[in-house]
Structure 1
Amino acid sequence: MLKKLNGLKTLLFRVDSRTIYLYSFFTGILTGGIALLFHFVVDGLSGLLFDKTARFPLVEVSPTTSIFNGSIQPVYLLVLLLPTLGGLLVGICIHYFGEEATGTGVDQFLASFHDHGGQVRKRAPFVKFLTATLTLSSGGSAGKEGPMAFIGAGIGSLYGKFIKMGTRARRALLLSGAAGGLGAIFRAPLGGALTAVEVLYKEDFEADALVPCIISSVTAYSIFSSVAGFGHMLRFETQMFHSPVELGFYVLLGLFCSLAGYLFIRMFSAFRNKIFLKLPIPKILLPAIGGLLIGILGLAFPPAIGQGLSVIQGVINGNYPSYWLTGSLFLLLLAVSKMVATSLTIQSGGSGGTLVPSLFIGAMLGGFFGNLVHHFFPDMAPSVNPYVVVGMAAFFSSVTNASLAALVMVTEFTGGYELLPPLMVVAVISLITSHKWSLYRNQAKNKFSSKAHLWDMNPRNLQHVKIGSAFHGRYLSEAVIMNNQKLLDIEKMTQ
C-alpha cells in the first residue's frame, strides 16, 4: 500500500514532458469549475441588479432597445447609481490590492509569462474574480473572457508552484490555465487553446505549449458546458459561401476592419493617457467616474453597455432599421458607441475583457459594410449576415494579432464553418496589415523579444563570439573541470 502511495506521489509531483499533460488536465478541471461559478455569479447579479431592480434588460438587451421608443422604462436613478457604485468598489480594490485588480486580465497574464517566469501572486486570481464580477454585473462594457483567462492562468501558475515546477514548465501550465478559461467561457475549446498561444506575440506563437493548452481547454469546456449547456454562443443560420467574386468584398472588409482596429487602439490608449490619468482626482475615484459615464451612456443608448452578446444576436437576426442607409448608420453608431463604452470601462480602472467587445464592434462594422454591399450589389452579395460573422473575426484579429485564433474562435462561436474561405481571407489581411499595433501593451513582437526565450537567443549569439575574445580576465588563469575528475589528472593538466 505504501509503495502504491509513493508511486502516486511520484506521478503527481514529477515534472517531465509527459506529466505536463496530466497537470494540464487537472488545471482544466479546476478552471472549468471556476468558470462556471464566475459565469453564474456575474449573470445572476446582472439579472438581479438591472433586470429586476432597475428594470433595465442588461443581459437580454436588443439592438433597438431605447427609452425613447418606449421599449423599456427603467429606474433612471438606479441605472446611473449601479455602475457608479460598482466602480467605487472596484476603486477600493485597486487601492488595497494593486494593479491586478484592474484591466483586461490578458495584459496581466502576458506580463506573467514574459517578465515574471510564469508566476502570479497567490491573491491575484481571487482579486480578479471579485473586481471583474463588480465591473460586469454593474453594467461595465467588457467581457468575461479576459478576467477568466487571467484567473485560469493564475490557477495554472499556482498549481505549478505547488508541485515545484521549473520556470519553463510553469509557463506552459500558466498558458494551459488561460486556455481553459477562454475555452470554457467562450464554449470554444480549440479557439481558446489557439488564442492562449497566439496572443502572446504579434508575429509568432508558443507552439511548445499548444498540446497542454488543448488538453486544458477541452477539459474546462466539457465541465463548463455539461452544466451551462453545450452549443454555440450565437445562433447563425448556415449560409454557404457561393461566389469567388465575393472574396473581393471580403478583402475590402478586412482592410476596413484593420483601419477601424487601429483607430480603436488609438482611442483606447487616449482614454487612459489623455483623459483618466490627467484628471485631478484621487485614483480610487476614477472607476466610479467611469461608471457614472457608463450609466449616462446606457440611458442614452442601452445597447452600448453590458457584454452585448444579445445585441450581436439581434443584428444577426436582422433586428435593426430595414432601410439600407438608416440601418447602415445605425450599425456604425453601435460600433462607435461600443468603442467609447469599452474605453470608459477599462481605462477608468474597471476589470473586464476586451475580446467580446471586439467581437461586438466587428459584428457591427461587418453589418455596416455588408448593408452597403448588399444594397449596391444585391446579386453578388445576397445576404448581410455573413458579413456580420466575418467582420467579427476581422476586427478581433486586427486588435489582438491572433489571426488563426480569430477565425477558429468565430466559427466555434457561431457555427459558421461554411464561411471559412472568407474568414481565412480577412485573417490573412489582418496578419499583413495589423502586426505593428496591438490592444495589449505587454504583447511581445516575437519569441526573441520575450524574456521567456532568452535561452533561444544564446546559441545565435554564441555563433558570432570567438573563443579568444571571450576568454579574458580570470578565465585566463582558471579552468572548468568535471565533478568526477581525479586529482591526479588535474595535476597532469597543470604540468
Structure 2
Amino acid sequence: MGSALRPPLAAPLRRTVRSRIETGRLVLYSVVAGALVGVLGIGLRLLLSLVLDWGAAITGYSPPGTPGEGGLLMAFGEALPYGMLALPVVAVLAAWLTQGSPSDPLSETVSAYHRRGGTRLSTQLRLLGANLLGYGVGLPIGRDSTFTALGGFSARLLSRFGRISVAEDRQLTLASVSAALGLVLHAPLVAAVLLAEVLYRRFEFEFEVLMPCVLASVSAYAVYGLAFGASPLFDVPTLQAPSALQLPLYALIALATTAVAWVGVWLSRLWPQNWLSGWPRLVWAGLFGLATAAAAFYFTPAVLGGGAGWAQLSLSGFLGGEALAGGGWKWVLLALGVRLGFGGGVLPSVATGALIGVGLNATLPTPLDPTVCALVAAGAYLTVTLNIPLAAALLAATWGGDALLPAALISSGIAHLLSGQLGYVEGQLRDRRAAELQVITPTTTILSAAPPQSSEDAFYRVAVPPAWLGARISLLSLPSGAQVVGLERGETILSATPDLKLENGDVLDIVASDAAFGELRELLNLG
C-alpha cells in the first residue's frame, strides 16, 4: 500500500525545473565556448604574425599595425613587382576555397543562423584558410575576418564533442563568433551587441542570443588576456566632448561619409549573380587581385591589407588631406571585392571610414578634431555597410571614450536613417518578422524549425494548401492537439472565426503539440 503512494521514478519534470536546466546548460556551454575561442585565439594571433612576416617577404611591403596587436605605426618597404603577382594567384585560390559560401565569414554566420542549419566543419576550415592567405599577402581582408572564421570553426568543434540541440547550436555559433570578434576588436561586450544586431537590416535585435554572446565574449577575452593583456585595439588620445556648436559639423562629416558608403554598397550590388559562382568567380577574383596589385605598385601600397594600421594613423592625427585619397582607393577596392569575399567584416569599413573622415575634415575652413572626425566617420561607414548603428556607436565610444558617445550616436543614427537596407552582409533579413518560422507549404519535408522535444505546444505558420481553399475554418480536419488561432491575409491578421473562408495566399497560425503537428505535416505532404 505504501509503495503505491510513492511518486513515480520517471515522473516528468515540471516546466520551471526543465527551463532552469536548459538555461543552465546554455550558460555552461556559452562559457565553455568562450574559453575554447580564447585558447584558439591565442594560437591564431601567433599564426597571424607568422603569416604577415611571410606575406611581407613575398610582397616587400609591411603595412602599419595597431598598438593593441603589437604593431608599429609605420609602414616598411615598397611593393615589389614580382611580389605583386602573388595577389591574383592568392585571390583565385581564396575564391576557389570559398565557392558555395557567402562572401565572407560574417555573412556565412548570419546566413547559417537564418537558414537554421550549421555550417560544415570543412567549410569553416576553407573560410579560415582563404582569409589567412588573403590577409597575409595584403588583399583587402580585415584581421577580424580570420577571427570570425575561427569562431565558426570553434562552434563546429563544440557541437561535435558536446550533446547540443539544434537551438543551442544556433545560439552557441553566434556566441563563438561574438567571442572571436571581441578578441580582435578588444571590445567583448560590443561584439556581443554586434552579433545580436547584424542579423537584421532594420534596427532590431535577437535578444535571445545576446546573453550567450556576452558570456562567451567575456570568457574568451579573459582567457586571451592571460597571454596578451587587455590593452585597447587603438591608442586614442583623451578626447573632450564635442560642444553643441560642433555637433552639426560632425554630423555633416557623417552625412558625407554616409553618402560615400552608400554609393560603394550600391556599386557592389551591381555584380550579376552568375559572376559570383563557378569559373566566372575565379576569373573575376584574379582580375580583382591584379587591380589591387596595380593600385599598390603604380599608386600607393597603402591599399594593401585590411587598413587597421591606417585607421590608427588617422586617429593619431598623423594624416591630413592625403587620407582622402587613401580612403578613396580602399572604397573602390571594397566595392569591387566584397562580393567575392574581400573586404567584408568590421575593420575594412572602419579603416575606410576613418580615412575618409580625416580627409573630409582637412577640407573644412576650420578643421575639427581629426580623432573625433575619424571615429564619427568610421561609425557612419560601418553603420551603412553592416547595418549595425548601435554597435557602431558603441565601438566608437569604446575606442574614443564616453565623451564621444553623443556624436557617435548622432552619426550612426543619421547613417542608418538615410542609408536604407543595403549592406555588405549576405543573408541579413529585413526584420524579426521575416525570421519567424518560415511558411510551410504542402510539399515541405524539412521544417524551418524542428518541433520541441517536450510536450509543450508550439506556434506554427502553415500556408493554406489548394485543397482547403474556399473551406471554412470550422470544417478543417485537424489532428487532435492542433488549433487554428489566427489567419494572416496579406498584411492583416484576422481572428480565426468558424465561418471564415480560406483564400489563396492565406497563412494559418496554428498552435499544436509536437505530435499533433507531426500528424498535420504528414497530412499536408500526402495531400
- What's 1:475 paired with? none
Q: Is the 8 A contact 2:141 2:305 kept in 1?
A: yes
- What's 2:357 paired with? 366
- What's 1:298 paired with? 296
Amino acid at match of 1:77: Y
Amino acid at match of 1:55: G
Out of 397, 402, 427, the residue aligned to residue 412 of structure 2 is: 427
1:131 is the counterpart of 2:130:
yes
Cα 1:341/1:45, change in 2 over 3 Å: same
Q: Is the 8 A contact 1:294 1:344 kept in 2?
A: no
Instruction: Provide the C-alpha distance between the structure 2 equivalents of 1:452 and 1:41, rounded to a whole number of angstroms.
Output: 41
Instruction: Provide the C-alpha distance between the structure 1 equivalents of 2:47 and 2:304, rounded to a whole number of angstroms.
Output: 18
Instruction: Provide the C-alpha distance between the structure 2 equivalents of 1:21 and 1:278, rounded to a whole number of angstroms.
Output: 39
Out of 35, 40, 49, the residue aligned to residue 34 of structure 1 is: 40
Out of 28, 51, 58, the residue aligned to residue 63 of structure 2 is: 58
Select the structure with the greater relative contact order (CA < 8 A; seq sep ≥ 6).
1
Instruction: Provide the C-alpha distance between the structure 1 equivalents of 2:41 and 2:501, rounded to a whole number of angstroms.
Output: 52
Secondary structure, counterpart of 1:318 in structure 2: coil
Q: What displacement does 1:165 show?
A: 3.4
Q: Is the 8 A contact 1:332 1:364 kept in 2?
A: yes
Q: Residues 270-293 of structure 1, C-alpha deviation per residue, up to 9 Å, x if partnerless?
A: 3x339x929996544443332222
Q: Is the 8 A contact 1:293 1:344 kept in 2?
A: no
Amino acid at match of 1:297: A
Out of 360, 372, 380, the residue aligned to residue 386 of structure 1 is: 372
Q: What displacement does 1:481 show?
A: 12
Q: What displacement does 1:26 show?
A: 0.9
Map 1:82-481; keep pairs closer than 5 Å. 82-94=86-98, 98-100=99-101, 103-115=103-115, 117-156=116-155, 159-160=158-159, 163-203=162-202, 204-270=204-270, 272-273=271-272, 277=275, 283-299=281-297, 300-320=299-319, 327-328=320-321, 330-347=322-339, 349-350=340-341, 353-373=344-364, 376-377=365-366, 381=368, 383-412=369-398, 414-451=399-436, 458=461, 461=487, 464=494, 465-469=496-500
| CA RMSD across the alignment | 3.3
Amino acid at match of 1:291: G
Out of 45, 51, 54, the residue aligned to residue 51 of structure 2 is: 45
Instruction: Provide the C-alpha distance between the structure 1 equivalents of 2:406 and 2:185, rounded to a whole number of angstroms.
Output: 22
Instruction: Provide the C-alpha distance between the structure 2 equivalents of 1:76 and 1:289, rounded to a whole number of angstroms.
Output: 16
Higher mean C-alpha deviation, range 458-467 or range 246-255: 458-467
Bigger fraction of residues in helix: 1
Q: What displacement does 1:296 show?
A: 1.5
How high is the sequence identity, in percent, across the aligned residues?
Answer: 19
Count of aligned positions: 436
1:76 is the counterpart of 2:67:
no
Instruction: Provide the C-alpha distance between the structure 1 equivalents of 2:157 and 2:303, rounded to a whole number of angstroms.
Output: 36
TM-score for the superposition, normalised by structure 1: 0.79
Higher mean C-alpha deviation, range 55-64 or range 228-237: 55-64
Instruction: Provide the C-alpha distance between the structure 1 equivalents of 2:487 and 2:300, rounded to a whole number of angstroms.
Output: 56
Cα 1:342/1:278, change in 2 over 3 Å: closer
Q: What displacement does 1:344 show?
A: 4.1
Q: Is the 8 A contact 1:119 1:158 kept in 2?
A: no
Amino acid at match of 1:362: G
Q: Is the 8 A contact 1:147 1:351 kept in 2?
A: no
Cα 1:439/1:284, change in 2 over 3 Å: closer
- What's 1:20 paired with? 26
Q: What displacement does 1:160 show?
A: 4.1
Instruction: Provide the C-alpha distance between the structure 2 equivalents of 1:311 and 1:304, rounded to a whole number of angstroms.
Output: 10
Q: Residues 146-183 of structure 1, C-alpha deviation per residue, up to 9 Å, x if partnerless?
A: 34324413433553465443333222112111211111
Secondary structure, counterpart of 2:23 in structure 1: coil
Instruction: Provide the C-alpha distance between the structure 1 equivalents of 2:289 and 2:61, rounded to a whole number of angstroms.
Output: 16
Cα 1:75/1:432, change in 2 over 3 Å: closer
Amino acid at match of 1:260: V
Secondary structure, counterpart of 2:50 in structure 1: helix
Q: Residues 260-310 of structure 1, C-alpha deviation per residue, up to 9 Å, x if partnerless?
A: 22111012223x339x92999654444333222221111221111202111
Secondary structure, counterpart of 1:123 in structure 2: helix
